[in-house]
Amino acid sequence: MKQIRQFILFILLVITLSIFLFSSFPSIIKTLSILIYLLILFSVSFVLMLENRSPYKTLLWIYALFFFPIIGYIFFIYSGQLEVKGHLFKQKREHDKKLMQDTEPYKPSPKWDHLREAEQSFSKLIETLSQNSISFYSKTKVLKNGDETFPAIIDALNKAKKYIHLEYYTFKSDQIGMELIKILCEKAKTGVEIRFIYDAIGSVGLSKSAVDKMREAGVNVHCFLPVKHGFFNQKLNFRNHRKIVVIDGKIGFVGGLNVGDEYLGNNPKIGFWRDTHLCLEGEALTSLHATFLLDWAYVSDENLFTSKYMAVERAEGDGGIQIVSSGPDSSQGVMSNLYYSMITTAKKSIWIATPYFVPNKALRTALEMAAARGVEIKLIVPQINDGFLTQYATRSYFPELLRNDIEVYMYCKGFLHGKIMIIDGQMASVGTANMDLRSLHLNFEINAFLFHTESIKELINHYMEDLGECEKVDKKRYHNRGLLVRTKESFARLFSPVL
């Protein structure tokens, strides 16, 4: 209904402006047409004002609507409304809440008392925002790069007895993709239930023939938010960036790696691919699986919240684990709020690795205040990114980071794609959410938050190894960069809200 209303307004704007500017109609008709045109713009501006955004954003969009005829309205539809997404996924959000209402909290553990007060407060915040409690009866294993991740996933797939559930942003029908598809088809033919969700935009490299092959073999395949015809399809902006595998309620995988040959470093244009994935066992697998099941209910209308799929085997863990999903179907800015809270709890160190660093104002302020408190802050980003805008938008933040004595490193060995944050060597986040505005506010994401686990030690070791492959950004030399580089950075930063 909303898209139809937007389309009607768009047509009216085009017609009335065309009559006023280009027609030979009498002046009274031209006057009437421009009055209708202005009435529409004032109506849109009034609705925009009622949304109570920040004043500068509201004024910016009002200026765009009035001073860029038609184009301003189109850009507003596609970009200006990205924040106001409650109506787009309201039905999913309400349905998810209903499905999750009978989910029980995890078993309490005396290990809770081993957490610092700040860590306990952060864990309670996670539970408040995500309804997922902390689990001390789960264990994780860090998988470094594709050469550890894909063999682990393939081994788990081959051992599947009951069901295999997969959800990927990018899944390509290339060599590694077809290898996984072959296993899925073989397993489906033996009676293993297989459900597979892929994102419509991220998985453009998944061929129709590959999808047909899976369906013919008995794999239940659904596309998340398929691209629909029509100029005003706003959901094009909201993508499912999650990477989830759950097998038999025994083992699961989540992290930065999609499925494609480049994730094994086999794309010569990209080269070496540095990434981090996580293998998960134990009761926290329930939260990971619940996210898949909620998405599955959305794409298929099939409710799988039964003991068959929610039952997991408890594992003896060495620390706490909490799973958090975020996106347009949850409270706005969940991941941003949690990243902010992690940064503010830091006493000694904050280590971040992310392929895209386009933070909001709150996160920038949190980092600056942490640096002012004397907290050691290190940031690793790739030297060469996979896009002009993301590369230079990221670099546009270097000057203010360096001014606040935040150490910035550029990873030189290849493309760094892992999404890691380590706080004081005791708490960490691993998952799919980048530190950019798209991940923090637009995409469907999922992260694992770790407390005092052995996996954090592995992450620290890997981070130290990555620093050895980096070039530290020199404050003075970067300050003296050329005008062309500054121009590229400033231009790319203009697009930060949609990167």
User: Which candidate, 434, 469, 415, 466, places its Cα nearest to that of 269?
Assistant: 415
Q: Which of these is catalytic: 96, 174, 199, 248?
A: 248
Q: Which of these is catalytic: 139, 172, 241, 277?
A: 241
What is the rounded distance in angstroms from the CA atom of residue 349 to the CA atom of residue 455? 17
Q: Which residues contact 311 (CB under 8 A, 6 or more apart)?
A: 249
Q: Which of these is catalytic: 424, 452, 462, 466?
A: 424
Which string of b and e fits 212-225 if b means at least 16 CB within 10 Å? Answer: ebbeebbbbbbbbb
User: Which candidate, 369, 376, 377, places its Cα nearest to that of 352?
Assistant: 377
Q: Which residues contact 415 (CB under 8 A, 6 or more apart)?
A: 270, 271, 272, 273, 274, 355, 382, 384, 385, 386
Residues facing residue 353 across a β-bridge: 380, 420
Tokens read off for 191: 């009676």
Four-point Cα dihedral 95, 101, 107, 111, nearest 10: 70
Q: In the annotation, is 419 catalytic?
A: yes
Q: Which of these is catalytic: 243, 441, 452, 488?
A: 243
CB 245 within 8 A of CB 166: yes
Q: Which of these is catalytic: 417, 441, 452, 462?
A: 417
Q: In the annotation, is 241 catalytic?
A: yes
What is the rounded distance in angstroms from the CA atom of residue 344 to the CA atom of residue 114? 20
The burial of 95, by beta-carbon neighbours within 10 Å (0-12 exposed, 13-18 middle, 19 or more buried), is given as: middle
Query: What's at 42, amino acid-wise?
Result: F
E strand intervals along 349-426: 349-353, 357-358, 376-382, 407-411, 415-416, 420-423
Tokens read off for 35: 């009055």
Instruction: Compute the C-alpha angle 241/326/491, nearest 5°.
Output: 60
What is the rounded distance in angstroms from the CA atom of residue 377 to the CA atom of residue 375? 6
Q: In the annotation, is 243 catalytic?
A: yes
What is the rounded distance in angstroms from the CA atom of residue 11 to the CA atom of residue 9? 5
Q: Which of these is catalytic: 139, 378, 419, 462?
A: 419
Other Cβ atoms closer than 10 A to 307:
7
Q: In the annotation, is 248 catalytic?
A: yes
Sign of CA dihedral 248, 250, 254, 260: negative
Q: In the annotation, is 87 catalytic?
A: no
Task: Provide the annotated active-site residues.
Answer: 241, 243, 248, 417, 419, 424
